[in-house]
Amino acid sequence: YVLTQPPSMSVAPGDTARLTCGGERIETKTVNWYQQKPGQAPLLVICDDSDRPSGIPERFSGSNSGNTATLTISGVEGGDEADYYCHVYDGDSDRTVFGGGTKLTV
């Protein structure tokens, strides 16, 4: 199973960033999103398509429909500049798969 993410995205502070993750019938799977800043381990920001773990700002939201899952960051701040990865567990193949990541520049 393959997850496709655009390599990069640039947004201005205060704007809304919509990061996409494409996969065949991805809506049938649950998607997780991670934020990774340089020198740090990844941080789970959205799990199970749209749930926010404790401590993650409400500015982060997720959706999943058709062949595309989307991580939306509203009111983007400089501190949101990072690499973002989508991830699914494909129960059909018992495989954990990551997308290639999107570098978000603010």
**Positions in the binding site for another protein (CB under 8 A):** 30, 32, 34, 36, 41-44, 46-48, 51, 53, 83, 85, 87-89, 94-101
| Closer residue to another protein (CB): 86 or 106 | 86
Q: Rounded distance, CA 66 to CA 51, Å?
A: 18
Q: In angstroms, what is the minimal distance from the CB of 48 to another protein?
A: 5
| Closer residue to another protein (CB): 38 or 78 | 38
Helix (H, G, I), strand (E, B) or coil at 82: strand
Q: In angstroms, what is the minimal distance from the CB of 106 to another protein?
A: 20
CA end-to-end distance (rounded Å), the chain: 31
Q: In angstroms, what is the minimal distance from the CB of 75 to another protein?
A: 24
| Closer residue to another protein (CB): 15 or 24 | 24
* Nearest partner of 1 among 65, 93, 71, 68, judged by Cα: 93
Beta strands 82-90 and 31-36, pairing class: antiparallel
